[in-house]
Chains A and B, each alone.
Chain A
Amino acid sequence: MRLDDLERAWSAHTKTLERSLALDERILRELLLRKVRFALGPFALLRALEVALGLLALSALVPVVLAHRTEPRYLLVGVAVLVLALGLTIQCAGLLVRTLQLDAAGPVCTIQRQVEHLKQAEYRATKWALLGGVLLWLPVLLLGFEVPTGIPALGRVDLAFLLGNLVLGLILLVLGQAWSRRVVERPDLAPLARRVVDALASRSLHSAARHLDELARFERE
């Protein structure tokens, strides 16, 4: 059997399909268009929520850190927390804008490149949120506690306890990375667990980089 024969059969089948495919569009009317709108909502909404939370955290924490700017502990820990919050907020805002600007009707190679770059940015944001969260969750909690109560909790906590928590965070990170590498190939992980494991093991980043290489080869050859 020759390829040309198969191509002719394909062509004939295409004509049959064009004649006989029946589009059932009953369900495309008003009711289900609402569903389309709803289907588009969650992703952009989640990103917008992340940006709003980031801005809220910044607006609440900046005055606390500024009020204690002469204390080295606040300056060191507070600035680390603010840098992380600002970085993540900027990353999330960038992702939101780039997601909304993505035009699926663009040339396939261009859009696929944009999609892979977007994925890389999203994986980096997830990774930084995980790393920062594990290391800085206690200072964030202590600084946050001061916002409504006015009690300088960070200043009152024992320095050894703070450092111990940081060391524990580092140990957890190392263990988490080792664990994620062990379970990364398991297919039965829940979507959220999959996202965390992929980010920790850098699997998603490598995969996006591989797709970009593949795309570059495709465009070049």
Chain B
Amino acid sequence: MACDPFQLSECLRRHAALIHRVARAYARDAAEREDVLQEIAVQLWRALGSLDPGRRESTWVYRIALNVAISHARREGRHRAGRGGEEPLFTLAAPAEAEPGPEVELLQACIAELGPLEKAPVLLHLDGNDHAAIAEVLGLSVSNVGTKLQRTRARLHAALERRTRTEAPRTEAPRTEDRRHATG
């Protein structure tokens, strides 16, 4: 088992955005996101020894991050395993300008409607991975990934339409009021 703190911190630094996005997609709130982040760090540290220098490091990090996040999402009872009060192993601080805008938040909300397994190929796709890379991370065939992405994008599209429809009256309402005031 490798236990080089420098190696781990370098790995976390290189893949901070990837880890952050996976944790965000699978956690329901900030506290849960912290739990997922710490769990991913622990598993990365555990697995450092098995990292093959000949293979893509991002594939290795994706696999660990997604395995941890999916297991976390599926954990029975959803009771906090209790890192409560403990100091975190590391923190990922995002400055104000890196907070997601309304469009990214809308897409995150649509992704949150998917099941834990369905989320994985979408996240990988959105991060710019091609079908072959997604297939390698998930352990699926390339053609299966293609079909899956097509179907999931259709579901995302439907979720987006539904959300836009339900959001629209809420945003339209004040305008109607304004118009009434203007004409009245």
Contact: A207 with B89, CB < 8 Å?
no
Closest residue of B by beta carbon distance from A188: B79
Task: Tell yes or no: A9 within 8 A of B by CB.
Answer: yes
Q: Is A67 part of the binding interface, using a Cβ–Cβ cutoff of 8 Å?
A: no
Known contacts A6-B103, A16-B98, A21-B94: does B9 contact A39 (CB below 8 Å)?
no
B128 in the interface, Cβ–Cβ < 8 Å? yes
Q: Contact mask B137-155 → A, CB, 8 Å, 1/0?
A: 1111000100110010100
Chief secondary structure at chain A's binding surface: helix
How many angstroms between the C-alpha atoms of A105 and B157 in the bound complex?
A: 31
Interface residues of B in 89-115 (CB under 8 A from A): 89-95, 97-98, 100-101, 103-104, 106-107, 110, 115
What is the bound-complex CA distance between A5 and B100, given in angstroms? 14
Across the interface, B89 reaches (CB within 8 A) one of A13, A32, A106, A204, namely A32
A27: which of B88, B92, B160 is its contact (CB, 8 Å)?
B88
Do residues A25 and B90 form an inter-chain contact, with CB atoms below 8 A?
A: yes
Q: Which B residues lie within 8 Å of A29 (CB)?
A: 5
Are B98 and A109 in contact (CB-based, < 8 A)? no
Docked-complex contact B89 and A112, CB < 8 angstroms? no
Contact of A104 with B63 at beta-carbon distance under 8 Å, contacts A20-B95, A33-B5 already known: yes
- Tell me, yes or no, whether B77 is within 8 Å of chain A by CB: yes
Range, interface on chain B: 35 or more
Question: A residues within 8 A CB of B41?
Answer: 28, 36
Q: Is A40 an interface residue (CB 8 A)?
A: yes
* Whole-angstrom CA separation of A187 from B63 in the bound complex: 31
CA distance A191 to B64 in the complex (A): 26
The answer to whether B89 touches A36, judged by C-beta atoms less than 8 angstroms apart, is yes
Residues 40-76 of chain B, each 1 if its beta carbon lies under 8 Å from chain A, else 0: 0111011100110000000010011011101100101
B107: which of A9, A115, A215 is its contact (CB, 8 Å)?
Answer: A9
Q: Which residue of A has the minimal Cβ distance to B102?
A: A9
Q: Which residue from B90, B93, B115, B156 sits with its C-beta under 8 Å from A28? A: B90
- A contact residues, total (Cβ < 8 Å): 56
Contact between chains at B76 and A204 (CB < 8 Å): yes
Which of A10, A18, A110, A194 touches B77 (beta carbons < 8 Å)? A194
Q: Which residues of A contact B133 (CB under 8 A)?
A: none
Q: How far does the Cβ of A5 sit from chain B's closest Cβ, in whole Å?
A: 7
The reply to whether the CB of A59 lies closer than 8 angstroms to some CB of chain B is no
- Give the docked Cα–Cα distance between A171 and B105 (Å): 54
User: Other than the known A3-B156, A104-B46, what 7 A-B pairs have Cβ atoms closer than 8 Å?
Assistant: A3-B157, A9-B104, A17-B16, A27-B88, A40-B46, A108-B63, A215-B117
Given contacts A33-B3, A104-B63, contact A194 B126 (CB under 8 A): no
In-complex Cβ contact of B9 among A5, A25, A35, A108 (8 A): A25
Q: Is B130 interfacial (CB-CB < 8 Å)?
A: no
A1-59: which have CB < 8 Å to B? Answer: 1, 3, 5-7, 9-11, 13-14, 16-25, 27-30, 32-33, 35-37, 39-40
